[in-house]
Structure 1
Amino acid sequence: MVEKIINVVIFVLDKTGYTGIFMAMALESACIPIPSEAILPFGGYLSFTGRLNPVLVIIFGTLGGTMGSIGAYYIGKIGGRPLVEKYADKLRLSRSHLEKSDYYFNKYGEKIVFFSRLLPIIRTFISLPAGISKMEIKKFVVYTLLGSLLWSIFLGYAGYKMGEKWTIIREWFHFADIALVVIIIGFVFYKIIRRKLRK
């Protein structure tokens, strides 16, 4: 399923350039399962071929990610948790991913909005708990913009430098996703065991 989505994204970006990068990043940041690990490196590859400007790829990727995140923020703020859960299945939002985002936001506070932009999986969903908790919009936009900028620079530049081998980046992030899930599961078990030992 993910591979099919990636192939469609690549086809669209190949035809639409900057507009496609902006829209794809906006959708990804609005909790639609379009991996930025394919969007930005492919944009970097198009820069490598001379079809796009690498700086503009980063700018459009950052703006798209920020706008999509703002949309998700207001969904959480206006509708609250009940609305998010009601349409989670229809939008193919993973409940486990939403719960992880809730956990990190509640544990680390508003600054996680910035740091989560550099984390696979969590970065896509963190805007919802930020909206639900009614985080100050100015802070949210600043943290999101800065985090999205770093993410866009990293992946866009990586795609540019890798050139025709840009698809390797997707494989790296596949393993990163698995590693993150393993770390989270390990942390949960650690907390459970620690509580039992205390009792």
Structure 2
Amino acid sequence: MTEWLINLMELLGAPGAGIAIALENLFPPLPSEVILPLAGFTASQGTMNLAAVLLWTTAGSVIGALALYWVGAVLGRERTVALAARLPLLKVSDIARTEAWFHKHGRKTVFFGRMIPIFRSLISVPAGVERMPLGVFTLLTTAGSLLWNTVFVLAGWALGENWSLVESYVGMGTNAVIAVVLLAVLVFVGVRLGERRKGRHAAQAG
């Protein structure tokens, strides 16, 4: 992947880094933790302009996020509720609670979500489903992405040939996020299975 990224940036310059980040938003397995520090290192070698790198990577983040926003908007609330009703262990009331939470905290979630691995991409979909005003979504996404991108690009710039250290440290944070998500899913499944057992026992007792 590193070789592909280098070739892309050598061919297109800073716009190549922007394209890579746009793809990273659509395909989360492409890690921004690799793309951004590598772009910063490349800029430090004089191959690309630092300001152009920040501009293009942020533009790529916004374009990728907008694509996922429109996926959510096309999916819409009614289809989301219909899909939720078909999923085992999930209730329509769960969607209602999630909607209420998003209406209350959606702006903070979109902004800070741009700085959390995995959620960076996924947060755009519920924003689209809930039809967060497009201007607000774009502004929050731009601000959060610019902050995230600047930190990692400058880290790559400062570390030089040791830019890959960024990936190592952030990788631990990503693994922690994945562990928390898995734990939350296991707790959710455990609670729902417990509720089903109680419901069956109550029905039998009645």
- Do the two structures share a fold, i.e. TM-score over 0.5? yes
Amino acid at match of 2:20: A
Matching residue within 12, 17, 32 for 1:16: 12
> CA, structure 1 residues 150+79, in 2 after alignment: closer, same or farther (shift >3 Å)?
same
State the shift of 1:140 in Å: 0.3
Distance 1:183 1:189 in 2: 10
TM, length-normalised to structure 1: 0.76
SS in structure 2 at match of 1:118: coil
State the shift of 1:25 in Å: 1.3
State the shift of 1:66 in Å: 0.7
Q: CA RMSD in A?
A: 2.9
Distance 1:54 1:115 in 2: 24
Matching residue within 37, 42, 48 for 1:46: 42
Establish whether residue 150 from structure 1 lines up as the match of residue 163 from structure 2: no
> CA, structure 1 residues 143+45, in 2 after alignment: closer, same or farther (shift >3 Å)?
same
SS in structure 1 at match of 2:40: helix
Q: Which residue of 2 aligns with 1:116?
A: 113
Distance 2:2 2:161 in 1: 16
Establish whether residue 166 from structure 1 lines up as the match of residue 158 from structure 2: no
State the shift of 1:10 in Å: 3.1
Q: Residue by residue, what CA displacement relative to the aligned partner does 1:4-52 show, whole Å, maximum 9, x if unpaired?
A: x444233322332112111111122234532111111111001111111
State the shift of 1:112 in Å: 0.5
Q: Residue by residue, what CA displacement relative to the aligned partner does 1:124-176 show, whole Å, maximum 9, x if unpaired?
A: 21111111111111110010000010011101000000100001111112111
Between the aligned residues of both structures, percent identity stands at 32
Q: Which residue of 2 aligns with 1:57?
A: 53
Amino acid at match of 2:173: A
Distance 1:193 1:22 in 2: 42
Deviates more, 1:74-83 or 1:154-163: 74-83
Q: Which residue of 2 aligns with 1:80?
A: 76
Distance 2:191 2:68 in 1: 35
What stretches of structure 1 of length at least 5 have no aligned partner? 87-102
